[in-house]
């Protein structure tokens, strides 16, 4: 089967989730898995799983299903860059520090190389092995550390300014955790994550389920 070149963002999200579940299965010494088992782990349909895995050009066998190790390696080839990518966290407050701690060492192909802040008490210190620099060294450090992804965890009032600076410094992708949406040029991949939207979505479905009928 021919591998599809550019995959939709939602497919990439699911592939990342498949890999996480498959790694857990592998740790339990399971070697093969069927699409319906992956589907049950992630609360999606087996048809969706089969469609995604076909898109990446992989097929299992009728008798044994998918080879877990092979599938993990293939998802890695698709999602990960061969040499890995370097990431910077901008805004080392509550959320920035939590993200830095959480992500450190989680993915071998994604390295948090630097953090930036404007608070003089936070800069020139090392947090979980990651140095925090003043924002005015952004260009210099991004170039030196070959950072291609920026995680934005600054106050909402600072979002647009910092995002523009990142783009001007040549950043390739931004994960924006602030509640303020940003505009980026087409060559920069943007992912926005708004916790309040997610919570309101849950609240809506909780409300609906409480309604009679
Ligand atoms: P915080 O005030 O604890 O941290 C913000 C950090 O950004 C501070 O260290 C501050 O010095 C730094 N900063 C301010 N201006 C800056 C600039 N121009 N450049 C670089 N650094 C700068 O805030 P927080 O709770 O960590 O939240 C950060 C952002 O994430 C906010 O936009 C918030 O709405 C959003 N957010 C927070 C949470 C959470 O659980 N804390 C959850 C979702 C979203």
Count of domains forming the chain: 2
Residue nearest to atom 4 of ligand 1 (CA): 93
Contact 67, 54 (CB under 8 A): no
Instruction: Give a yes or no: residue 127 inside a domain.
Output: yes
**In terms of domains, do 92 and 176 share one?**
yes
In short, whether 133's Cβ falls inside 6 Å of ligand 1 is no
Mutational test site, ligand 1, from 95, 100, 117, max ligand atoms within 8 Å of CB: 95
Mean pLDDT of 98-120: 92
In short, whether 94's Cβ falls inside 6 Å of ligand 1 is yes
- Nearest to residue 75, comparing CAs of 28, 14, 1? 14
**In terms of domains, do 138 and 185 share one?**
yes
How far does residue 108's CA lie from ligand 1's centre (Å)? 26
pTM of the full structure:
0.89
**In terms of domains, do 49 and 89 share one?**
no
Q: In this structure, are strands 32-33 and 66-67 parallel, antiparallel, or unpaired?
A: antiparallel
**In terms of domains, do 64 and 168 share one?**
no
In short, whether 160's Cβ falls inside 6 Å of ligand 1 is no
**In terms of domains, do 171 and 94 share one?**
yes
Instruction: Give a yes or no: residue 126 inside a domain.
Output: yes
What pLDDT does 171 receive? 98
**In terms of domains, do 135 and 59 share one?**
no
> Can you give the length of the chain in residues?
213
Which CATH number goes with the domain that contains 95? Answer: 3.40.50.720
Q: What's the pLDDT tens digit per position in 141-197?
A: 999 999 999 999 999 999 999 999 999 999 999 999 999 999 999 999 999 999 899
For the CA of 179, the nearest atom of ligand 1: 34
**In terms of domains, do 65 and 32 share one?**
yes
What pLDDT does 168 receive? 97
**In terms of domains, do 89 and 193 share one?**
yes
* Domain membership of residue 178 as a residue range: 85-197
Instruction: Give a yes or no: residue 207 inside a domain.
Output: no
In short, whether 192's Cβ falls inside 6 Å of ligand 1 is no
In short, whether 135's Cβ falls inside 6 Å of ligand 1 is yes
The string of DSSP letters for 25-60 reads HHHTT--EE-HHHHHHHHTS-HHHHHHHHHHTT---
Q: What's the pLDDT tens digit per position in 22-46?
A: 999 999 999 999 999 999 999 999 9
**In terms of domains, do 37 and 129 share one?**
no
At 195 the three-state DSSP class reads helix
Instruction: Give a yes or no: residue 159 inside a domain.
Output: yes
Residue nearest to atom 23 of ligand 1 (CA): 93
Instruction: Give a yes or no: residue 206 inside a domain.
Output: no
């Amino acid at each position: 089967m021919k591998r599809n070149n550019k995959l939709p963002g939602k497919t990439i999200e699911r592939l990342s989730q498949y890999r996480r579940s498959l790694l857990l299965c592998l740790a339990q010494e399971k070697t093969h898995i069927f699409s319906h088992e992956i589907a049950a782990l992630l609360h999606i349909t087996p048809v969706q799983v089969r469609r995604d895995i076909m898109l990446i050009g992989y097929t299992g066998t009728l008798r044994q299903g998918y080879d877990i190790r092979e599938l993990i390696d293939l998802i890695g080839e698709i999602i990960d860059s061969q040499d890995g990518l370097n990431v910077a966290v901008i805004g080392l407050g509550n959320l920035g520090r939590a993200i830095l701690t959480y992500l450190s060492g989680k993915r071998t192909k994604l390295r948090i190389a630097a953090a930036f802040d404007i608070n003089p008490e936070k800069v020139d210190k090392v947090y979980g092995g990651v140095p925090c620099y003043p924002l005015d060294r952004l260009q210099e450090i991004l170039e030196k550390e070959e950072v291609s992804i920026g995680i934005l965890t600054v106050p909402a009032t600072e979002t647009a300014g910092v995002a523009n600076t990142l783009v001007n410094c040549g950043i390739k992708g931004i994960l924006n955790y602030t509640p303020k949406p940003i505009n980026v040029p087409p060559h920069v991949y943007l992912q926005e994550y708004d916790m309040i939207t997610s919570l309101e979505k849950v609240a809506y479905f909780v409300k609906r389920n409480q309604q009679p009928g």
